Chains A and B, each alone.
Chain A
Amino acid sequence: MEIENTALAGTLESSDIQIMISKGDGKITIELESDVKKEFGDEIESVIKQTLAASNIESAKVKAVDKGALNCVIRARTLTAANRALGIADKPSWEVL
């Protein structure tokens, strides 16, 4: 699936992550801002990619501002942002989590 609209989920509070998803250029690109990017940047990006892949999203631009979120939070925020962008936030595909 392709993302056409922009959507946002999550906050900048401690232990959270803010995810903005918008129209991509044929692939998944991730721009990550995190205090622990050096230590966990690859892991955070791979969790985002897996969550999008599980939702069959192949093209999207993702801006993520991480404030120390756990993987389950990253998955939840990514899924919510993706569902909002696809206009299906009222019927989320829970099995993705």
Chain B
Amino acid sequence: MLLEKCKSEKSTKNGETMNNEVVDLNLAEPTIFRQWTLFMENRGIINFDSSETRVIDSTIGIFDDSDRLIATGSSSGNILKYIAVSDDESYTGLFNSIVSTLVSRLAQRGIFHVFVFTNPEHMASFEFVGFKKVAQTDFIVLLENGDQTIESYLQSLPRIEGNPKIAGIVMNANPFTQGHRYLVEQALLQNDFVYVFVVSADYSLFNSQERYDLVKKGLSDLSSRVIIVAGGDYIISAATFPAYFLKSNENTIEYQSELDAQIFKERIAKALGISSRFLGSEPFSKTTGIYNRVVQETLEPDINVHIVERKKNDGRYVTATEVRKAIKNNKIDSIEKLVPDSTYDFIKSNLGRLQNRIERGMNINGN
């Protein structure tokens, strides 16, 4: 602290220094919220869907001498959001002040790996302050900054030597069922090896460690050909795909699916030598249905996409949703055939804890 500049952040107008401090904005205050949304609408940001705004942890702003908002930015977990600055060219340094303050505050909370979504025309501004591109679609760019990068994530994954045929599968596995296992088996019929990426984000009834462990146990007999890895920040995470876990409109789901697929295609599959992706057909979830379609459109023709008809049991599709319902309704005998022994044993011995989570409000109808 001793060597840090004192707290006031400065910006300049017409060469004169003004003491426009960076202040906290309380968006729960209706007048502040209105001023904030109005300012951003003028800057072309128009999505104030509550699924986006209610996950904001903190919002800061800079006001001019007549109390008009001239810059703002927010953070949600390790993601910077809603960054907008006045286009009055006589102000300089507003953008840097906002980004700098957000990054420093996250650092104080021990968060050093930061993401930002923006549109391609603003990419350069973020690159000037140290951010690096992860992936890009026509409408959206994901950039990151800090002590980890997608390169370091990819380097941490086990590699397969030689030139075998490798497939990739992404699963949330909440929890791991015979359906997930069937999908892996189908992929193995046509490939030498399969990477299974288990979604790391913790928005599900079974937490990420439990889901990862159950995938590992449920596939342990296939471990010579199946490589199970955590998806980290780069596969269906809060950074790539927040809409997967929140109720969101279809456009949001679509552009986030495309970004997620783009990261898989351009970064992950290229680094690991993955030539095809296997997905389970989706009869029920709207989000997953859109996701499957967009993934197919984005990955092909570079990567072959196989959408495998879901496994059935007694004429009904095996789904993890069904398993979660049975947990809630205390009818776990009915799911014994739907899950491997390892998953069943886990549910049996942790039934109370899982039901507790549902009672405390964990949503079990989403993904």
Contact = CB atoms under 8 A, between A and B. Distances in A.
Q: Do A and B bind each other?
A: yes
Interface of A: 6-9, 11-14, 16, 18, 20, 22-23, 33, 35, 61, 63, 65, 67, 76-77, 79-80, 89, 92
Contacts of A7: 107
Which residue of B93, B97, B112 has the most chain A CB atoms within 10 A of its CB atom? B112
A18 B100 CA distance: 8
B9 A13 contact: yes
Interface of B: 1-5, 9-10, 92-93, 96-97, 99-101, 103-104, 107, 112, 127-130, 145-147
Contact of B2 (A35, A67, A92): A92
B96 A67 contact: yes
A11 B100 contact: yes
Contacts of B99: 12
Nearest to A65: B130
Contact of B96 (A6, A13, A33): A13
A54 to B, nearest CB: 15
17 contacts: A6-B147, A7-B107, A8-B103, A9-B3, A11-B100, A11-B104, A12-B99, A13-B9, A13-B100, A14-B92, A18-B103, A20-B107, A35-B128, A63-B130, A65-B130, A77-B3, A80-B4
A22 B130 contact: no
Which residue of A8, A22, A92 has the most chain B CB atoms within 10 A of its CB atom? A8
Given A22-B112, A63-B130, A89-B1, A12 B100 contact: yes
A12 B96 contact: yes
Nearest to A80: B3
A92 B104 CA distance: 20
Contact of A9 (B4, B96, B145): B4
Contacts of A63: 130, 145-147
A76 B96 CA distance: 20
A20 B3 contact: no
Contacts of A89: 1-2
Given A11-B5, A13-B10, A20 B112 contact: yes
Given A8-B104, A13-B96, A22 B3 contact: no
A33 B104 contact: no
A43 to B, nearest CB: 19
A65 B104 CA distance: 13
A12 B129 contact: yes
B156 to A, nearest CB: 13
List the 6 shortest-distance A-B pairs measured between CB atoms, nearest first.
A22-B147, A12-B100, A8-B107, A65-B130, A12-B96, A6-B112
Given A12-B97, A13-B5, A13-B93, 17 more contacts: A6-B146, A6-B147, A7-B107, A8-B107, A12-B103, A13-B97, A14-B92, A14-B96, A18-B129, A20-B107, A20-B112, A23-B147, A63-B145, A63-B147, A80-B3, A89-B1, A92-B3
Contact of B147 (A18, A33, A61, A67): A61
A19 B2 CA distance: 16
A23 to B, nearest CB: 8
A18 B107 CA distance: 12
Given A6-B112, A13-B9, A61-B147, A79 B100 contact: no
Contacts of A13: 5, 9-10, 93, 96-97, 100
